[in-house]
């Protein structure tokens, strides 16, 4: 079986990715409904009940909207930081002020690695307007995988985590010009463009052109804006920056509407 990654959904209407080894299967974010998660997994020939754990990057709706139902139905542990859990449960209070209960929640801290089964997980802080947002690297069976979306810019601390990866799932959220002239209200444009917003095609290209080590066989461009980006703009910005360094990495695009083909090692 080996290590594989499958992006089930990616974008502002829901994010969810499966990272798995031969023995452990982690759902990274639960941003689409339980029903849709099951549907997309089954379409790929995967049994949702084989998931080992759910891992949450931050409490924004597009990363947690399916969390409660999924966790209850699958009866598997949910891993998140304490601050993310607090922000999530505050936001999820019902009309009586009751906070939602997860049967099994495990807290981790950014910068401290831990294991889920045989997968070593390293959470790292990303600049984003949430309580305690993180990206992750995963190590299993000699492979290293990084997932980093929802970041306003790419600080040196994040660039360090992305070294030596066999697969990168990175945000390529918007084309700056499309966002600038687009229909979003100015306040939203400012949020997206800010240092705690979302990563543009050109900011990601700058990383590829200056700091990227060329180690990944696959680069998945993720969390693309449907309003302020075109898949081909994102792809060409990344490929141009990569070819300038003569890295022959394959660039793939994650989409909102359907799951990607699993990437297997």
Q: How far is CA 131 from CA 53, 79, 85, 91, in A?
A: 22, 15, 9, 12
Between 4 and 15, CB nearer to Zn ion: 15
Q: Minimal CB distance to Zn ion: which residue? A: 60
Between 15 and 52, CB nearer to Zn ion: 15
28 closest CA partner among 7, 49, 44? 7
Residue 130 pairs in a beta bridge with none
Q: How far is CA 140 from CA 4, 210, 224, 236, in A?
A: 10, 28, 28, 31
Q: Residue 139 CB, nearest distance to Zn ion (Å)? A: 24
Between 143 and 170, CB nearer to Zn ion: 170
Q: How far apart are CA 57 and CA 132, in angstroms?
A: 8
Q: How far is CA 13 from CA 32, 179, 211, 225, 227, in A?
A: 8, 17, 30, 10, 12
Q: Residue 6 CB, nearest distance to Zn ion (Å)? A: 18
Q: Residue 4 CB, nearest distance to Zn ion (Å)? A: 23
Q: Residue 224 CB, nearest distance to Zn ion (Å)? A: 11
Between 50 and 61, CB nearer to Zn ion: 61
Q: Residue 128 CB, nearest distance to Zn ion (Å)? A: 6
Q: How far apart are CA 125 and CA 135, in angstroms?
A: 6
Residues that bind Zn ion (CB under 5 A): 60, 62, 150
102 closest CA partner among 131, 79, 83, 130? 79
Between 48 and 127, CB nearer to Zn ion: 127
Contact 139, 188 (CB under 8 A): no
Q: Residue 177 CB, nearest distance to Zn ion (Å)? A: 22
Between 60 and 174, CB nearer to Zn ion: 60
């Amino acid at each position: 079986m080996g290590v594989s990654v499958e992006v089930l959904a990616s974008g502002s209407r829901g994010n969810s990715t499966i990272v798995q080894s031969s023995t452990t299967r982690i759902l990274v974010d639960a941003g689409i409904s339980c029903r849709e998660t099951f549907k997309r997994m089954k379409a790929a020939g995967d049994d949702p009940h084989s998931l080992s754990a759910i891992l949450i990057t931050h409490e924004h709706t597009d990363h947690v909207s399916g969390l409660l139902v999924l966790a209850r139905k699958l009866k598997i542990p949910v891993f998140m930081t304490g601050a993310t859990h607090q922000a999530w449960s505050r936001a999820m209070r019902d009309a009586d002020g009751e906070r939602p209960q997860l049967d099994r929640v495990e807290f981790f801290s950014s910068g401290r690695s831990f294991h889920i089964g045989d997968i070593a997980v390293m959470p790292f802080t990303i600049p984003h307007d949430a309580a305690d947002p993180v990206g992750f690297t995963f190590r299993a069976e000699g492979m290293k995988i990084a997932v980093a979306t929802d970041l306003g810019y790419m600080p040196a601390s994040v660039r360090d985590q992305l070294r030596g990866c066999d697969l990168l799932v990175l945000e390529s959220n918007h084309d700056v010009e499309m966002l600038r002239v687009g229909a979003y209200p100015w306040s939203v444009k400012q949020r997206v463009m800010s240092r705690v917003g979302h990563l543009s095609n050109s900011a990601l290209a700058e990383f590829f052109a200056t700091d990227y080590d060329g180690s990944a066989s696959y680069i998945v461009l993720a969390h693309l804006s449907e309003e302020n980006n075109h898949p081909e703009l994102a792809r060409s910005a990344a490929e141009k920056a990569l070819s300038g360094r003569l890295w022959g990495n394959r660039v793939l695009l994650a989409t909102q509407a359907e799951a990607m083909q699993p990437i297997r090692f």
